[in-house]
Amino acid sequence: MMKTWFITGTSSGLGRVLAEQLLQRGDRVVATLRRDGPLDELKKQHGNRLRVVTLDVTDTRAIRTCVADAFDAMGRIDVIVNNAGYGLFGAAEELTDAQIDRQIATNLTGSIQVIRAALPLLRRQGGGRIVQVSSEGGQIAYPNFSLYHATKWGIEGFVESVAKEVAPFGIDFVIVEPGPTSTQFGAGLDHAASMPEYDDTPAGEVRRAVASNSFAIRGDAGKTVAAMIVAADSTHPPLRLTLGGGAYGSISAALAERLKTLQAQKEIAFSADYADSAD
């Protein structure tokens, strides 16, 4: 059965591949991007099944208009995909206030406002699904990506809470956590001006690794998107969907270490309770 999807950030990367695969199988897509042009050929191939809309997700008013117009034009939207985002690269001290504000406005506030704009419309139509593209960086952290991690950890917490609020309305969520994948993420990084004080620190090591392209990219964008579609199509998808062997390994290790640390604190944790709290 044909579905209708609303996808942000479709000019390149996972958003573009997702739009292509969905259109290929016969679905309808509302695709947003910040500038005209990248989807012109795709529009020629698929005609009315592809609706292309210019949207900057840092503009909350524009988000509300865009989402409402999409529901009006398509009649129903089955899946909302929050994909727009980018990486900010630099040690926390190196970042400018403007860089921090833009990263949060795009990755975190933008995603939150797309969800908020969609919820009443999904509720009115009797339900739907929201796919939030996060990252392995929503569960682990690397030096030099502190603000990127802040947005991904933040949006995961937001989604987990909202999922509980709207489940009675037939609205559910999938948080997608890919590892390093063959997209243009690295080329799109916003780099802070480096400080020599960080040269001989973990931040400097990561900076040199990025500059030399020595990070292993194991994720296949096409296979990643195919797995996202399978999850979005399923009756009972997982709240979190980890994609890529690297992501699976790094998240597994981080969660195991976190649990080990928590369990070691059991006695001191309970010591903070009132003496009669167990009664």
* Catalytic residue list: 134, 148, 152
Whole-number Cα distances in Å, 128 to 35, 36, 40, 202: 28, 28, 28, 43
Sign of the torsion angle spanned by Cα atoms 55, 172, 184, 105: positive
Classify strands 4-7 and 79-82 as parallel, antiparallel or unpaired: parallel
> Which one-letter DSSP state was computed for residue 192?
P
Whole-number Cα distances in Å, 88 to 106, 121, 182, 243, 277: 11, 32, 18, 22, 45
Main-chain dihedrals φ then ψ at residue 10, nearest 5 degrees: -105, 10
Tokens describing residue 88: 């900010």
Place of tokens 């400018």: 96
Residue 259: count of CB within 10 angstroms of its CB: 10
- CA proximity to 246, closest of 177, 196, 144: 177
Contact indicator for 228, 129 with CB cutoff of 8 Å: no
> Which one-letter DSSP state was computed for residue 193?
P
